[in-house]
Amino acid sequence: MASRANSVSAGLGGSLGSTRASTIWGRSQKLCPASRYTDLESGRISLGCNFACIHCQNWEISQQFAEGTVCGEREIAALIDEARRRGCRNQNWVGGDPIPHIPFWLKVLLWETENTPVFFNTNGFYSTEASSLLRGVVDIYKIDFKYGSDICAEKISGVSGYWKVITRNLKAAKKQGELLIRVLVLPRHLECCLIPIVSFISRELGPETRVNLMDQYSPHWRAAELPELKKRLDPDEWEKAVKIALEAGLRNVIT
């Protein structure tokens, strides 16, 4: 625990808005070699997100949410330590997205007494300063690679300069820990998004990079505002998406 604590900058503080704490067992086994892991809040530990995806299925905790229960860093650290003693393999920082709460999570680590590995579950859109803070702290990065086009990122998630930031952080994450990439295939976004995404992964990160290609897109929240996002991915488009990923040279694709 000392080595991890030494990687955390002093003087970080704050509080976290959440609703409850719980433990999830035996999920995401294909993505995480550990058969069990701690997932506080059942995947809803931190409220808020730095994206505004119009199709977000978790919009009630990422965009429009009540205050929830405000938890201090000691309280969260105690919950993580207890879960670790019960046999959980790691702590899963999720949301919303954990990015707005990075200073808080680093403070939590200073109060933990058990050496619990960190699973950083994120959209990957963070600064170089944040990346430096996470170095030596995060063991596993699970990053959503959402768009292959800045135009699509701006239109769907309201973010600018997406490609430069996400590709920079993916390269850094590969050097800093174990990298797992999640790609949600969006309807009618194969050419503009999927092809550039899988091509970059194969070329820059390596064909053995673990990629979870997902077909479970479902229109939520304000998805109806964009015609192509009004309906689910059809079977033919999904079959084509898998073919695109394999033809890009990826050899470790999970579907």
- Binding-site residue numbers for [4Fe-4S] cluster are 49, 53, 56
| pLDDT tier for residue 30 given thresholds of 50, 70 and 90 | very low
DSSP per residue, 22-35: ---BS-STTTSSSS
Predicted pLDDT at 44: 36
pTM over 0.85: no
pLDDT in tens, 220-251: 767 778 888 888 999 999 999 999 999 999 99
Binding-site residue set: 49, 53, 56
**Counting Cβ atoms within 10 Å, is residue 121 exposed (0-12), middle (13-18) or buried (19+)?**
buried
Per-residue pLDDT reduced to its tens digit, 142-201: 999 999 999 999 999 999 999 999 999 999 999 999 999 999 999 999 999 999 999 999
Query: Residue 16 above 50 pLDDT?
Result: no
pLDDT tens digits for 61-94?
545 556 666 778 899 899 899 999 999 888 988 7
Which of these CATH numbers, 3.40.225.10, 3.20.20.70, 1.20.1740.10, 3.60.20.10, describes 2-254? 3.20.20.70
Compute the mean pLDDT over every residue in the chain, rounded to the nearest whole number: 82
Provide the pLDDT confidence category of residue 47 given band limits of 50, 70 and 90. low
What's the pLDDT tens digit per position in 192-210?
Answer: 999 999 999 999 999 999 9
The 10 Å Cβ neighbour count of residue 171 is 15
Q: Across residues 16-37, what is the average pLDDT?
A: 37
Tell me the average pLDDT across 211-219. 92
Q: What angle is formed at CA 211 by the lines to CA 206 and CA 212, rounded to 5 degrees?
A: 175
Nearby residues of 64 by Cβ (< 8 Å), 6 or more positions away: none
Closest C-alpha among 195, 161, 201 to residue 182: 201
Q: For residue 1, name the pLDDT band (cuts at 50, 70, 90).
A: low
Residues 89-121 have pLDDT tens digits of 889 887 668 888 899 899 999 999 999 999 999
Instruction: Say what percent of the chain tops pLDDT 70.
Output: 75
Domain ranges of the chain: 2-254
Give kind and range of the element (H or E) at residue 243.
helix 235-247
- Chain position carrying tokens 């879960």: 83
Mean pLDDT to the nearest integer, 6-21? 44
- pLDDT-above-90 percentage for the chain: 56
